[in-house]
C-alpha cells in the first residue's frame, strides 16, 4: 500500500535530482534506475550470502569478487560524499556497464542494456542525497516496490514532457480487465515502453490468485497486497519466468521496463531489444495474449519491414503493421487488445480496408471501444479506439462501445471528474452475451423515449410561445405585461430542459453500447467507426412557421412605415425639410 510517507519519499528523491541540476524527466528516471540496479546487485549478493550461511557452505561470489566488495551499495553508502562520488563514478558505474550478459539470469536482462548508459549525476552532494533516499525505500516487498516505481514513472506525465511513453493507467487497466489474462498465458507487448501493460496484467493475475485477507485498500481507493498466495509452486515459477514478454528498440525504455518488472517481483524480466516490425524479428504463433499501444502516425520503408507482414497487406503505416504483427505473434485462439488511431476504423485506402477485412473475415473481431480525443492529452489530441480480437475463427457480430468520458477532463489539465464510462464498459462487456441484460437495457431505453416524448413536445410549444413573446416584446405597447409572461415561459422552459436532460443523459449512457452484425459492417466497406452505427436520439429543432415569420416581417414593416411617417411630420412641424 503506497501511503503518504512513501509518496513523500519518492517526491523527495525526484526533487533532489531536479534541484541538483537534472531536469529532463527521462534522465532522472535513468539515473535512479542505475542506482536502483546497483542496490539490487548488493541485495542479491546479500541474499546468496545468507543462503550459504544457513547451509554452512562458503559463499560463492556471483556478482562481486573479494576485490570488488567496495563496489557494493552497503559499503560505499557509508563513505563521505566526495569519496562516494569518486568510487561510484570511476569504479562502480564502469563495473555495471561491463557486466554485460551476466551469468546470473536475475540481473542479465538489465545489465545487457547498459552499453549506452551514461553517468550524469553532476555533483557529490546529489549522489549522496540520492543514495540516502534510495536506501530508505522499502524494496523488499514486491507489491510496495512496484507501487513505488509506478508512482515514480507517473512523474513522466506530470512533468509536462515525455508523457507519450506512458499510456494512461486507467486505460491500460480497462483493457486488461476486458482480456482477463490467466496465469497459464504467455503475455506479450511488442512495443512495451515502460512495461505498463505487462505489469497491469501481472497485477490482474495476482489479484485473482490472492486470498481476500491479504488485500488492502489505500486512501485513494486502490486495492493492494496481491501476494498470489493461491499460486501453486509450478504456477509461480512460470509466472516469474515465462509469462511476461516485452520488446522495444529504445534501450532507455528497456531499462525502465526491466526495472519495473523486477520491482514488481518478476525475477527474470523477459524484455528484449528488437524492432518487432523489422525483417530480423521472426517470432510467430507464440503468445496467448497481446496487449499494446504501439506507436502510430509513423511509416516505414518497405526495405526495412518484415516481408511476412507485407505479404499480408502492403503498407508503410505502422498502426496497420502492428495489427498484422499481433496476428502473427498470437497462437491460434490467442486474444489481443490494441489501441489504434481512429483512422484505422474508417480509412478508405486499400490497406486500411484490407486490415479490417482480415480481422473480420479471417479472425474474430470481438469489440471496438471508441475513446474520446482527450484521453492522451496533453501529449496528443488524436481520437483512438481499442480493438479486441481473437486469432482464428470468424466474426458474426461486433460489440461496440462509444466512450464519451474516462473519468478525467478531456482538456490538457486532465483533472479527475465524476463522469466515467469505464465501469459501464466493463459491466456491459461482461454481460454482453446475456439476453436478459440486453433486454433490460432496451426496455429501459424504450421507456425513456416514452417519458421524453411528451416533454419534448411541450418544449417545442414553449419555444414557439417564447419566440412569439420575444417578438411581441419588441412591437407591443404594453411591454411590462409581455415581459412578465416571457419570464414565466422562459423559467418553465429551463425547468423542462433540466427534466429532459436527466432522462436524456441516462438514455445516452444506455445507447453507448450496441451490437452490429458482420453483414452491416461489410455493407459499409468494413467501416468500424461507432458514430456510423450508434443510434442517437436527435431533438427536433424549433423553427418558426414560414407564414408566421412573413406576418411578423409585415408587422415590422408597417411599424417602420408608421414611425417614418411620424418622424417626417415632426421634422416638417419644426420648419425642416423632408
Grid coordinates representing 395 are 466474426
Strands (E), 414-461: 416-420
Cα 236 to Cα 143: distance, rounded to the nearest angstrom: 15
Cα angle value 394/348/325 (rounded, 5°):
50
Find, among 123, 141, 257, the residue nearest to 195 by Cα.
Answer: 257
Residue whose grid cell is 498484422: 324
pLDDT at 145 over 90: no
Task: Copy the grid coordinates of residue 458.
Answer: 411541450
CB 340 within 8 A of CB 175: no
CA dihedral 426, 430, 436, 442 (to 10 degrees): 30
Burial 11-32 (b: 16+ CB within 10 A, else e): eebbebbeebebeebbbbbbbb
476 pLDDT more than 80: no
Is the model's pLDDT at 209 over the cut of 90?
Answer: yes
- Burial level of 329, CB count in 10 A (0-12/13-18/19+)? buried
Give me the pLDDT at residue 352, please: 96
Q: Which residue has the cell 526495412?
A: 304
Structure confidence at residue 537 (pLDDT): 73
d(CA 337, CA 390): 9
- For residue 523, the surrounding DSSP H or E stretch is helix 518-523
Count of Cβ atoms closer than 10 Å to residue 123 Cβ: 13
How far apart are the C-alpha atoms of 540 and 378, rounded to whole Å?
Answer: 36
Compute the distance between CA of residue 269 and CA of residue 271 in angstroms, rounded to an integer: 6
Domain boundaries, the chain: 436-511, 545-578
Q: Rounded to an integer, what distance in angstroms lies between the CA atom of residue 449 and that of residue 441?
A: 12
Mean pLDDT of the residues in the chain: 89
pLDDT exceeds 60 at position 163: no
**Quick one: pLDDT at residue 160?**
42
What's the pLDDT at 480?
A: 82
DSSP-derived 3-state class of residue 5: helix
**Residue pLDDT, tens place only, 431-461:** 999 999 999 999 999 999 999 999 999 999 9
Separation of alpha carbons 117 and 113, rounded Å: 8
Q: At what angle do helices 479-511 and 435-475 cross, to 10 degrees?
A: 160
Q: Calculate the CA dihedral of residues 24, 26, 31, 33 and round it to 10 degrees.
A: 160
Average pLDDT over residues 19-34: 91
pLDDT attached to residue 450: 95
* Residue in 266, 274, 121, 124 with CA at minimum distance from that of residue 201: 266
pLDDT at 251 over 90: no
- Burial letters 126-162, b for 16+ CB under 10 A, else e: bbbbbbebbeebebeebbbbbbbbbbbbebbbebeeb
Cell numbers representing residue 535 in the block: 443510434
pTM for this predicted structure: 0.87
Average confidence (pLDDT) over 511-536: 94
Concatenating the DSSP letter of every residue in 280-344 gives T----S-EEEEEE----S-B--GGGB-HHHHTT----BHHHHHHHHHHHHEEEEEEEEEEEETHH
The more confident residue out of 425 and 24 is 425
Please write the tens of the pLDDT for every residue from 368-396: 999 998 888 777 778 999 999 999 999 99
Residue range 290-317, pLDDT digits in tens: 999 998 766 778 888 888 898 888 898 9
At residue 294's C-alpha, the angle toward residues 293 and 296, to 5°, is 115
How does 445-454 read in b/e, with b if 16+ C-beta sit within 10 Å? beebeeebee
DSSP per residue over 232-296, as a string?
-HHHHHHHHHSSEEEEES-HHHHHHHHHHHHHTT-SS-EEEE--TTBTT----S-EEEEEE----
Q: In the prediction, which pLDDT does 146 show? A: 86
Residue 508: pLDDT band (50, 70, 90) is: very high
The DSSP letter of residue 576 is -
Count of Cβ atoms closer than 10 Å to residue 336 Cβ: 27
Amino acid at each position: 500500500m503506497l501511503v503518504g510517507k512513501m509518496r513523500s519519499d519518492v517526491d523527495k528523491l525526484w526533487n533532489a535530482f531536479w534541484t541538483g541540476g537534472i531536469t529532463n524527466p527521462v534522465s532522472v528516471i535513468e539515473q535512479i534506475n542505475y542506482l536502483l540496479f546497483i542496490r539490487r546487485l548488493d541485495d542479491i549478493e546479500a541474499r546468496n550470502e545468507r543462503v550459504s550461511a544457513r547451509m554452512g557452505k562458503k559463499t560463492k561470489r556471483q556478482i562481486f569478487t573479494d576485490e570488488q566488495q567496495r563496489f557494493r551499495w552497503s559499503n560505499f553508502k557509508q563513505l563521505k560524499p566526495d569519496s562516494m562520488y569518486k568510487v561510484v563514478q570511476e569504479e562502480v558505474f564502469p563495473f555495471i556497464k561491463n557486466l554485460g550478459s551476466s551469468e546470473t539470469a536475475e540481473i542479465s536482462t538489465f545489465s545487457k542494456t547498459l552499453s549506452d548508459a551514461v553517468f550524469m549525476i553532476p555533483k557529490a552532494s546529489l549522489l549522496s542525497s540520492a543514495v540516502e533516499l534510495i536506501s530508505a525505500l522499502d524494496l523488499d516487498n514486491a507489491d510496495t516496490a512496484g507501487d513505488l516505481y509506478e508512482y515514480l514513472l507517473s512523474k513522466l506525465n506530470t512533468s509536462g514532457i515525455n508523457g507519450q511513453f506512458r499510456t494512461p493507467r486507467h486505460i491500460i487497466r480497462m483493457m486488461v480487465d476486458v482480456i482477463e489474462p490467466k496465469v497459464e498465458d504467455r503475455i506479450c507487448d511488442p512495443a512495451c515502453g515502460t512495461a505498463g501493460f505487462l505489469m497491469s496484467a501481472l497485477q490482474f493475475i495476482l489479484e485473482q490468485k490472492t486470498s481476500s485477507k491479504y488485500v488492502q485498500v489505500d486512501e485513494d481507493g486502490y486495492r493492494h497486497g496481491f501476494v498470489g498466495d493461491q499460486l501453486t509452486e509450478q504456477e509461480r515459477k512460470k509466472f516469474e519466468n515465462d509469462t511476461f514478454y516485452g520488446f522495444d528498440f529504445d534501450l532507455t525504455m528497456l531499462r525502465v521496463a526491466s526495472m519495473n518488472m523486477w520491482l514488481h517481483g518478476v525475477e527474470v524480466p523477459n524484455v528484449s531489444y528488437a524492432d518487432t516490425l523489422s525483417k530480423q524479428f521472426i517470432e510467430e504463433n507464440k503468445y496467448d495474449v497481446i496487449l499494446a499501444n504501439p506507436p502510430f502516425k509513423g511509416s516505414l520503408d518497405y526495405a526495412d519491414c518484415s516481408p511476412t507482414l507485407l505479404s499480408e497487406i502492403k503498407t508503410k503505416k505502422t498502426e496497420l503493421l502492428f495489427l498484422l504483427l499481433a496476428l502473427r505473434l498470437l497462437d491460434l485462439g490467442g486474444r489481443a487488445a490494441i489501441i489504434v488511431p481512429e483512422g484505422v476504423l474508417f480509412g478508405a485506402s486499400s490497406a486500411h480496408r484490407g486490415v479490417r477485412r482480415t480481422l473480420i473475415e479471417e479472425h474474430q473481431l470481438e469489440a471496438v471501444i471508441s475513446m474520446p480525443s482527450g484521453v492522451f492529452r496533453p501529449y496528443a489530441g488524436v481520437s483512438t479506439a481499442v480493438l479486441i480480437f481473437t486469432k482464428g475463427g470468424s466474426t458474426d457480430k461486433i460489440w461496440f462501445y462509444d466512450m464519451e468520458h474516462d473519468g478525467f477532463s478531456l482538456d490538457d489539465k486532465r483533472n479527475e471528474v465524476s463522469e466515467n464510462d469505464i465501469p459501464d464498459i466493463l459491466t456491459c462487456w461482461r454481460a454482453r452475451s446475456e439476453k436478459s441484460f440486453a433486454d433490460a437495457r432496451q426496455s429501459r431505453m424504450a421507456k425513456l423515449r416514452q417519458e421524453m416524448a411528451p416533454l419534448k413536445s411541450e418544449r417545442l410549444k414553449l419555444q414557439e410561445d417564447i419566440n412569439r413573446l420575444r417578438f411581441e416584446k419588441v412591437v407591443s405597447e404594453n411591454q411590462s405585461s409581455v415581459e412578465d409572461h416571457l419570464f414565466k415561459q422562459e423559467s418553465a422552459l429551463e425547468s423542462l430542459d433540466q427534466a429532459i436532460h436527466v432522462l436524456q443523459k441516462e438514455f445516452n449512457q444506455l445507447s453507448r453500447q450496441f451490437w452490429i452484425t458482420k453483414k452491416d459492417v461489410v455493407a459499409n466497406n468494413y467501416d468500424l467507426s461507432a458514430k456510423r452505427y450508434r443510434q442517437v436520439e436527435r431533438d427536433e429543432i424549433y423553427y418558426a412557421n414560414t407564414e408566421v415569420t412573413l406576418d411578423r416581417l409585415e408587422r415590422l414593416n408597417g411599424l417602420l412605415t408608421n414611425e417614418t411617417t411620424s418622424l417626417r411630420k415632426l421634422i416638417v412641424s419644426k420648419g425642416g425639410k423632408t
